[in-house]
Amino acid sequence: MLDDLLDNNRAWAQDIESENPGFFEKLSQQQSPEYLWIGCADSRVPANEIVGLLPGELFVHRNVANIVAHTDFNCLSVIQFAVDVLRIKHIIVCGHYGCGGVKAALNNNKHGLIDNWLREIKDIYHHHETRFRPLDEEARVDLLCELNVAEQVRNVCHTTIVQDAWDRGQELAVHGWIYSIRDGLIRDLQLTVNGKDQIDPIYRTDPAELPNAS
Ligand code: CO
């Protein structure tokens, strides 16, 4: 089984190299992606493939249910490196309909450690509970998938990393998208945030209080 993967890899590398001689040698010198993708770990949502980008074009962070927890130093470190060092211009939070993590958050079964991770999604449900009452189960999952993207877009914007970038005048937009595993298409949820004035005042950091390096 694993031999198949290694065979696939050799064929893949050959294909790219024959279409674009020197591709890997050039990439080995540097990466300069313009986008950071924050998506679900689900095997049906492969980041590069669904947006048609090659190695070197997309910086990627994936976890179960595309959550941006403000105490997750893994996700925060990815955002910080992407924004401060790579100077990416767009952060795309991409959820997907039928997300298993979101479904798990909507029932009361125990799944182990991951229930603590998915608690964040139960909080979103709880906050919007009245909107769910008239819906059937599938529509509930889909609505919670969309509300989760919106929440994670806000979480990205509320980080000191993104706000400091805006304070420096760095061009940076945060987007919320959702992918359908039924037809392979992405829908823009029209949640794009380009600056501090678009975030709730309680979460704004005062630029005058920026740590001074001098
Ligand atoms: Co998912």
Q: Do 45 and 98 meet the contact criterion of CB atoms below 8 Å apart?
A: no
Q: What is the pLDDT of residues 98-143, one digit of tens each?
A: 999 999 999 999 999 999 999 999 999 999 999 999 999 999 999 9
Chain segment 26-45, per-residue pLDDT in tens: 999 988 999 999 999 999 99
CA separation, residue 7 to residues 16, 19, 20, 200 (Å)? 15, 19, 20, 51
Give residue 115 CA to ligand 1 midpoint distance, Å: 14
AA letter at 188: D
138: CA distance to ligand 1 center in Å?
A: 14
Question: What's the whole-model pTM score?
Answer: 0.94
- Ligand 1 centre distance from Cα of residue 117 (Å): 13
Q: How many Å lie between the centroid of ligand 1 and the Cα of residue 56?
A: 24
186-194 contact pairs (CB < 8 A, 24+): 186/50, 186/51, 186/94, 189/146, 189/149, 189/150, 191/149, 191/150, 191/153, 193/153, 193/157
Using pLDDT thresholds of 50, 70 and 90, give the confidence band for residue 207.
confident
- Give percent of the chain with pLDDT exceeding 70: 97
Residues marked as catalytic = 40, 42, 44, 96, 99
Residue 66, classified by CB atoms within 10 Å of its CB into exposed (0-12), middle (13-18) or buried (19+), is: buried
Please report, as a single letter, which amino acid is at residue 150.
A
